[in-house]
Amino acid sequence: MSFTNHLRQLARPIWDAQLIHPFVVALGNGTLPEHKFKYYILQDARFLGDLARVFSAGAVRAPDSESALRLTKLAEETIVVEKSLHEAYGAKWRMSAKQMTSVKMAPTNYAYTRHMLSVAASGSTAEITTVALPCAWIYCVVGQHLLKDGPPKKSHPYREWLMLYASPEFAEVQRWMRKKVDLWAKTAGRDEKGRMEESFVISSRYEWMFWEMAWNEEEWPV
């Protein structure tokens, strides 16, 4: 078994729970209230800014030029490609890019990004790629799961979101990340592998919590 498949096995119950989360189910069948989707998109816009920083940190420590270039590209694509989707929704809601990125982070979003940035500050490129892997991999799994019976109708309110995350281009991102993590894990020591396992599971938990956060439209309690 590859190291990344081993990681997925560790987090399997968490991943399975995501596919039946009410936010994900409603997103897929188009019954998700728009105000909940709007909350999610605005929080995700904030999340992506920090995710790009995580990829950039991985590029700085990359052991080879190919990996450095690809991680740099991932940082750029995180900002450009996914941000364009957010801004399309923002235009619908008559919100500028500045307004979207000025929304305060919810508690779960803040905690998740601090978890990743902590690894980015001190971890190896293998650890940094691993802490970000659930984000790319889970969204690919969710997107493909929701479109297992074919593409959504043109009238589906969240068609653009579903098409992006079920796309072959998005799937390729997680494949590259998994390939690199598997390669680097072969020479990683026991302690480093332990940190990779822990951060992967924690990120997987936060991915579930992100759906929960959006479903409940979480706010700071005090």
What are the residue numbers of the active site?
A: 135, 207
Q: Is 47:113 a contact under the CB 8 Å cutoff?
A: yes
Q: Whose CA is closest to 137, among 188, 79, 179, 75?
A: 179
Neighbour-count burial for 8-47, b at 16+ CB within 10 Å, e otherwise: beebeebbeebeebebbebbbeeebeeebbbbbbbbbbbb
Closest CA to 15 of 213, 201, 180, 177: 201
Tokens describing residue 221: 């309690």
C-alpha span between 162 and 185 (Å, rounded): 32
Where would I find the H helices in 30-158? 34-61, 65-92, 97-101, 107-122, 125-146
Give the residue from 114, 99, 92 showing the smallest Cα distance to 47.
114
| Spatial distance between the Cα atoms of 119 and 140, rounded to a whole number of angstroms | 23
